Amino acid sequence: MRILNQVMLVIVAVLLFSGTGWCAAGKKGSGLEGKVVDGDGKPLSGIKVVATQKEPLKGYEKFEAKTESDGSFALKGLYPESEYVIAPDVADTCNKEGAKKEIKSAPVDEVRSLKENIVVKILPLKVTKDGVITDPRTNLEWAPAPANDMNWNQADQYAQSLSLAGGGWRLPTIAELKTIYIPSCDGNIAHSAFNAGGMWAWSSQLDGPSRAWGFNFHRGDEYRNFRDLGRDLSNGNTRVLVVRSRR
């Protein structure tokens, strides 16, 4: 009888562990699916999504997945019915904290879908070894901003004489400057490779013999300034961004 009871206890234990799927050896868990999009609702591919367990359990603390061409991702192996923080692993975005989501994982062997997309307002740029910033959306290449502010005449000369990665640089148009503007970034270009925070930047577009147009990254609009001034009369220093067609 004693032996029988011991056998029964073993059977019950096995059934419990196999039923819950929480046995460390089995590593069963649950899944999570979702989608990452940009500020316009367009899917973002190649974005790493990380799920971090709020109360870490060994083997279940962190899971990663990259988004597909349609922006979708699938995380597998999460500890069932546990609290996780889901966030895109993106260094250069002005709303990184806002893109985080807290969820409770699904029961064992089930998959939960996020009710809302993860929205990442980011410039999908790539940076080469020599610092050239490439934008696949526009087929443009940008150079990091120099440390000092310049008037338009100095900026134009700087662009033409810059030898970075073979040269061929110029001042951008207003339309080109607008392609690297994200309204929610509160005056900052969202990618650190530009080496520029909140600023106003010169364009190549002139307004008569003494003025040129610039772009205001604080307000998202263009302004006019005297070409021989290095400061906007009302808003502060004017910086330099240079561009060229992608090579």
Taken in order of first residue, the domains within the chain and their CATH numbers are 28-119 (2.60.40.1120), 126-245 (3.10.100)
Distance of alpha carbon 125 from alpha carbon 141, whole angstroms: 9
Count Cβ neighbours within 10 Å for each residue of 143-161 and write b for 16 or more, e otherwise: bbbbeebbbbebbbebbee
Contact 174, 205 (CB under 8 A): yes
Strands laid side by side in the 236-239 sheet = 221-226, 211-216, 200-207, 236-239, 231-232
The pTM of the whole model exceeds 0.75: no
Contact 153, 227 (CB under 8 A): yes
Helix (H) or strand (E) holding 18: helix 2-20
Residue 93 has a pLDDT of: 59
Residue 95 has a pLDDT of: 62
Residue 21 has a pLDDT of: 39
Distance of alpha carbon 120 from alpha carbon 88, whole angstroms: 8
Helix (H, G, I), strand (E, B) or coil at 88: strand
Tokens of 138: 């526009």
As a whole number of Å, the CA-based R_g of the chain is: 26
Cβ-based burial of 128 (10 A; exposed 0-12, middle 13-18, buried ≥19): exposed
Quick one: CA torsion of 106, 73, 123, 167, rounded to 10 degrees? 150
Residue 211 has a pLDDT of: 93
Closest among 217, 192, 32 to 96, alpha carbons compared: 192
Distance of alpha carbon 164 from alpha carbon 177, whole angstroms: 20
Contact 29, 23 (CB under 8 A): no
DSSP for residue 164: G
Tokens of 69: 């061409």
Residue 121 has a pLDDT of: 77
Count Cβ neighbours within 10 Å for each residue of 103-120 and write b for 16 or more, e otherwise: bebbebeeebeeeebbbb
The one-letter amino acid code at 235 reads N
Q: Tens digit of pLDDT per residue, the chain (247 long)? A: 555 455 444 443 443 444 443 434 456 799 999 999 987 888 988 889 999 999 999 999 999 999 999 999 999 999 999 999 999 987 665 666 667 899 999 999 999 999 999 988 777 788 999 999 999 989 999 999 888 888 899 999 999 999 999 999 999 999 999 998 887 676 666 677 887 665 788 999 999 999 999 998 878 889 888 888 755 444 456 778 999 998 7
Residue 147 has a pLDDT of: 80
Contact 29, 54 (CB under 8 A): no
